[in-house]
Chain A
Amino acid sequence: MPNASSATRPSGPTPARVLRIGGLLALAAVVLLFPSLAPDPFILSVGVVILSYAVLATSWNLVGGFTGYISLGHAAYSGLGGYATALLILRSGLNPWLALLVGALIVALIAIPVGIASLRVRGASFVIVSIALVLILQLTFQSWHTFTGGSGGLRVPRPFGPDVLRPEQHERFFYLHAVLLALALLTWWLIERSRLGAGLKAIREDEDKAQALGVPTFAYKLIALVTSAFFTALGGGLYALWFGYLDPIFQFSILVGTYMVLMSLLGGVRSLFGPLLGAVVVGYAVEVFKSQYGDTQFHLVATGILLGLVVLFMPDGVIPAITSFLNRRRRAASIREVTAEELARQREEAAR
């Protein structure tokens, strides 16, 4: 049988591979050059916000994209990461960077019992459990004045000295977020190509079937959730160190978790760079809406409309939509060709 499909993925430097490496280098160049190209500190700070969204969305995708378990409550982990970092600095006098790491590890530990409880249920039930967690945390952190600062908020000490001015702060945090984003992307990429990743994607497609093939589904889901919570907490903690202030209303907000979902869905949950692309588009849009319509809730309406449009017209996200558009002709041709062959062969056999 002629192997028609091998033509679609030859080894060695192919145009697709060159394009991919070129794209990766271009992306790295844009990120590295952005701070020097940004016309003013405000634009630079928008850059930090977008990178922070990209970190959170990519981290969310470690569980959402792989397992298909849609958590709307991932703000629980980013919020806890922020508070853990701040409280470790304030109450234990830890070095800020060490506090960030220890905080994220604590959040990862907290994610274990949460996962054991919530990953037993699928579909809508899991979504609701994830939302409930955020609401519980919001109430707890608002009420527990003596420990968390309550609804009055919590000031996070700056990791850099007072001699580091605001634009300089933005630039440093921009690069720190870029490093964290690179680590999250690398982790996603490593899992994606592993046996663990194969099992996780199988869970997303058909959990019972995956289990029947020997995939320990529960353990895998838990690994994905804990890894995701760890990176989400790092993202929340780093943002807290930059922003310098925590308020339970914003830290444990359903909206933050919704943004992570929207960004990932928009870019494409099956693609490594999907959440990053979604973060750039949605993050930019949110900042524009906020600056244009300031105090109104218009950005919420816009977010809702965007989410609806994505789910209706691009359920796989932008990146897969573009890729499949580019591949459609070639790929369809190769499959059709083989099917025709098969048919001819089957007819031959039947005639015999």
Chain B
Amino acid sequence: MSTTGSVTTEGLTKSFGGVRAVDGASVAFHDGEINALIGPNGSGKTTFFNCVTGMIRPDAGTVAYAGRDVTGLAPHRIARSGIGRSFQLCRVFPRLTVLENVLVAVQPHGLLQRLRGMRNPDDVARARELLARVGIDHLEHAEARDISYGQQKLLELAGVLMGDPHTIMLDEPAGGVNPALVDRIADLVRELNAEGRTFIIVEHNMELVMGLSDHVVVFDRGRPIAQGTPAVVQDDPQVLEAYLGV
């Protein structure tokens, strides 16, 4: 695992056309904790995620990770610096096998290293271990498009873990999955957090967010309007207004 560190943004801004999806957001996530990022639909959570992970270049502001400025770095560099992420609605490589999906994340330094076989015994063993951990090791030879949506969600998590990130950003991990699987994902997050991994989770399932997270950041119109422990945030009048529109 890479060095400890937390994600911090200063005045992060990103507009699409005339809409400021993220509007001067300054947020400091807590290292070693399970952070949640919540907010009404269209409040800029996913755009914020994409700015932090390099998928989108912000118009203004900075992103720092582990004390280093990573603003505008290519996504693979940010991934290498220790931030792994999942995607909203779950993305896997449909025509690769379950095992290959996980092995993709093995991208060491140096061209010669990359020309080595992907089915290196050590890597395969570790990939199988991760697949077993999320509970889909029996499917390793199936193509990812042939497994269920819930299994794809678990596969995506296993792929992220293969990169051994210190910080894991999950975009709606409980979206569209059955309650039993939500519990399983929550357990996995707790376990991984206990091992020292930091989480930043975008999620609409309030029960999950309040039960799981140590620190909650509430977004509205592209910027944080409240943050604190779940109990504090729940009673914040601004949060109630943003959610209920009163």
Contacts from A to B (Cβ < 8 Å): 1-5, 8-9, 190, 193-199, 201-202, 204-206, 208-218, 270, 335, 338-339, 346, 349-350
Please indicate the chain A residues that have their CB under 8 angstroms from the CB of B180 in the complex. 346, 349-350
Please indicate the chain A residues that have their CB under 8 angstroms from the CB of B106 in the complex. 195, 198
Q: CA separation between A202 and B76, bound complex, in Å?
A: 13
Contacts from B to A (Cβ < 8 Å): 53-55, 74-76, 79-80, 84-85, 87, 91-96, 100, 103-108, 113-119, 137-142, 146, 148, 159-160, 162-163, 180
B76 lies within 8 A of A215 (CB): yes
B118 lies within 8 A of A194 (CB): yes
Please indicate the chain B residues that have their CB under 8 angstroms from the CB of A209 in the complex. 87, 91-93
What's the dominant secondary structure at chain A's contact region? helix
B138 lies within 8 A of A198 (CB): no
A214 lies within 8 A of B117 (CB): no
Q: CA separation between A193 and B53, bound complex, in Å?
A: 29
B74 lies within 8 A of A338 (CB): no
B87 lies within 8 A of A197 (CB): no
Instruction: Quote the shortest CB–CB distance from B160 to chain A (angstroms).
Output: 7
Please indicate the chain A residues that have their CB under 8 angstroms from the CB of B115 in the complex. 190, 194-196
Known contacts A193-B117, A193-B118, A270-B95: A5-B139 contact under CB 8 Å? yes
Give the most central of A206, A209, A215, A217: most B CB within 10 Å: A209
Can you spell out 6 A-B residue pairs with CB atoms less than 8 angstroms apart? A4-B138, A5-B141, A194-B117, A195-B106, A208-B87, A214-B80
B119 lies within 8 A of A193 (CB): yes
Instruction: Quote the shortest CB–CB distance from B176 to chain A (angstroms).
Output: 16
Instruction: Quote the shortest CB–CB distance from B192 to chain A (angstroms).
Output: 17
Please indicate the chain B residues that have their CB under 8 angstroms from the CB of A195 in the complex. 103, 106-108, 113-118
Q: Tell me the nearest residue of chain A to B183, going by C-beta.
A: A349
Please indicate the chain B residues that have their CB under 8 angstroms from the CB of A210 in the complex. 93, 104
Give the most central of A1, A8, A204, A214: most B CB within 10 Å: A214
Contact of A214 among B79, B94, B113, B138 (CB under 8 A): B79
Instruction: Quote the shortest CB–CB distance from A66 to chain B (angstroms).
Output: 12
Please indicate the chain B residues that have their CB under 8 angstroms from the CB of A339 in the complex. 148
Known contacts A197-B118, A205-B94, A211-B76: A5-B85 contact under CB 8 Å? no
Q: A213-B105, A214-B76 are in contact. List 10 more A-B contacts (CB 8 A).
A: A5-B142, A190-B115, A193-B118, A199-B107, A199-B114, A201-B104, A215-B76, A218-B74, A335-B146, A350-B180
Q: Tell me the nearest residue of chain B to A198, going by C-beta.
A: B118
A5 lies within 8 A of B140 (CB): yes
Q: Tell me the nearest residue of chain A to B103, going by C-beta.
A: A198
